[in-house]
Amino acid sequence: MLTAADIMTNEVCTIDSSASVADAIALMQTQKVRSLIVNRRSAEMPFGIVTERDIVYKVIARDHDPERVIVQDVMRQPCVAIEPNLSIQEIAQVFSDAGIQRAPVIKDGELLGVVSVTDVVMRGTIAASNQPELAQRIAEAVRHARSICQEKGQSSQDCAIAWETVEELQAEAAHRRIKPGGR
C-alpha cells in the first residue's frame, strides 16, 4: 500500500510570511508551482500555505497591489498537514473533507514534502487500477496546462481554464476512487 511518503514531492518551495505577494507570484512562476509552503516563524508555530487561488481571490480580485500585500495576509495557517504514513485513500479523504488540492507532509514538526491531488492520481493506485484512460487524460491535461501557461503566462485566462480542466479531471478520479464500487 502506497503512503504519502511514497508519492510526495520532496522538493518543496517555501517562502517567508513577511515576503510580498509579488515575490510569491515571481517564485511560483520561476519554480513552475501553484503553491508555496510558508515557513514557520518559530518551531512552535504551524506551517502555512499560499496558493495561486489565494492570491487571485484575496489580492487580484480585490484590486490590491501585490507589492504592498504580504504573504501573511493571504496565506492559510495552520494549513492542513498530511502525516507521511497516510494511505492514498486517507489522503484523498482528507483532501475531500477539507476541500483542498495539496498539503505539506510533516512529521514531528519537520517538513518532508508536499502531496497533491496530482500525486494521488498520477502516482497512486488510480493510475495502476482499472482507470488507466482517466489517468492518461489527466497526464495530457497537465502537460497541456503547463504548455498554455508557459506560452500565455501564469496569470492568463487560458492558463486558469487549462488548470481548471485538470482539477475537474482530478476530482472525477478522486470521486471514482473513493466511491465504493466506483467506475
The neighbour count for residue 107, using CB atoms within 10 Å, is 14
Mean pLDDT of 172-182: 58
Predicted confidence at residue 43, as pLDDT, reads 83
Mean of pLDDT values over 165-173: 80
Rounded CA-CA distance 21/23 in Å is 5
Residue spans of alpha helices (H) in 51-131 = 52-55, 71-74, 88-98, 117-123, 125-128
More confident site: 88 or 129: 88
Is the pTM for the entire model greater than 0.75? Answer: no
> Which of residues 175 and 142 earns the better pLDDT score?
142
Q: What is the mean pLDDT of residues 77-93?
A: 92
User: Quick check: 92 pLDDT over 60?
Assistant: yes
Cα separations in angstroms, 177 against 32, 50, 69, 150, 165: 28, 27, 39, 31, 18
Average pLDDT over residues 71-95: 93
- What's the average model confidence in pLDDT over 79-105? 93
- CA triplet 121, 125, 126: central angle to 5 degrees? 50
User: Mean pLDDT over residues 133-145, rounded?
Assistant: 80
Domain boundaries, given as residue ranges, for the chain: 4-178
pLDDT in tens, 49-59: 999 999 999 99
Q: List the single range of 18-27, 42-51, 148-157 with lowest mean pLDDT.
A: 148-157
> The domain 4-178 is classified under which CATH number: 3.30.365.10, 1.10.10.60, 3.40.50.11810, 3.10.580.10?
3.10.580.10
Provide the residue type at 27 as one letter.
L
CB-CB neighbours of 116 under 10 Å: 22
Average pLDDT over residues 125-138: 65
Q: How far is CA 181 from CA 72, 130, 144, in A?
A: 43, 11, 31
pLDDT at residue 182, as a whole number: 41
